[in-house]
Amino acid sequence: MNDLSKARATILEVGEESETQRLDNFLLRHLKGVPKSHVYRVVRSGEVRVNSGRVKPDYRVRIGDKVRVPPIRIAASNPKPPAKPFGLPIVHEDPSLLVIDKAFGVAVHGGSGVSHGVIELLRAARPEAKLLELAHRLDRDTSGLLIVAKKRGALVELHRMLRDGEIEKIYVAVVKGVPPGKHFDIKDALHKYVNAKGERRVAVKEGGMEAVTRVKVLGSANGLSVLQLRLMTGRTHQIRVHLAHAGFPVLGDDKYGDFEFNRGLARQGVKRLFLHARRLVFKHPVDGTRVALESPLPGDMLRFCGANFPGANA
């Protein structure tokens, strides 16, 4: 008789931190090391019950639900070494969310050759936290403000607010070229695809996802411009693709930029993407109070703007 035959089922009660989470994701968080395929199998076979009834993997759990989990053997594995806790720059925190000022070159999550990103490092720094989830993402090469939810209800509401355009997200970019007007919108539809190297890319394409970027020119000089950008939609790489397609590639953009121009800038010390998530304004997802946060331009961008755009409100 094996150990599983002697084991008993486990009853997990759903708390506030897991409210409205899909059952499959709820189980994966509690069954570390269990393959997704096995989790789906035990749910579909009826071995997992919620309040004594059978449910599907996409069932949204509710506070107080009692989830019966059958005995499951977890295979031995060689987990990644734990992230080392360290202090992240937090510009706002309350019981439901926090906002981090992310540096250039730091991934928001692990993967694609990165062992640990912001969220893994934050979880390592706060092992007692019941929930820490990214409300949205920033490219690894983009610096600035990033929202993390600490409660499931706040995360769900933040996602809705992002979808409905209720969170004002303002960026600053330095680009090649001088736009003809001071204010304009870019409304090109965007299409995601994978290139021959297996890398995720985005292109302007008719029939793609609707995307709108609102542009304000803060200053221009020497064939360059510093722009303020408001995202009216939140598509992958939206600002970078929109600006490149409009003829104003972001300085230092190694995916969509002017590569020859960037090489020249690198010799002058410009070795990063000059795109910064500067400002967030939104109603708090729980109490409805107004939250307005701002991140100053990083030192290298500030020095570059000061040297090239005297008088610009960057």
CA distance 126 to 132: 9
**Chain segment 38-71, per-residue pLDDT in tens:** 888 888 898 999 999 999 988 999 888 999 998 8
pTM over the 0.85 mark: no
CATH architecture of the domain 3-69 equals: Roll (3.10)
State yes or no: is 139 an active-site residue.
yes
Q: Could you please report the per-residue DSSP string of 56-106? A: -TT-B--TT-EEEE---PPPP--PPPPPPP----EEEE-SSEEEEEEPTT-
Q: Average of pLDDT values for 294-299? A: 94
Active-site choice (139, 141, 253, 258) = 139
Position 112 confidence tier, pLDDT thresholds 50, 70, 90: low
Neighbour tally for 32: CB within 10 Å? 9
The domain locations on the chain are: 3-69, 90-308
Q: Which has more pLDDT, 218 or 37? A: 218
CA within 13 Å, CB half, 293:
22
Q: What is the chain's percent helix, strand, coil content, to nearest 5?
A: 25, 30, 50
What does the pLDDT read at residue 84?
58
CA distance 83 to 66: 32
What does the pLDDT read at residue 214?
97
Q: Average of pLDDT values for 236-242? A: 96
Q: Average of pLDDT values for 153-162? A: 94
Q: Which of 18-22, 190-194, 307-311 has the lowest mean pLDDT?
A: 307-311
Q: Average of pLDDT values for 20-33? A: 84
Query: Residue 112 in contact with residue 247, Cβ under 8 Å?
Result: no
Region 90-308: CATH code: 3.30.2350.10
Helical segments of 109-202, H only:
118-125, 152-163
What does the pLDDT read at residue 1?
44
First-last CA distance in the chain: 71
What does the pLDDT read at residue 219?
94
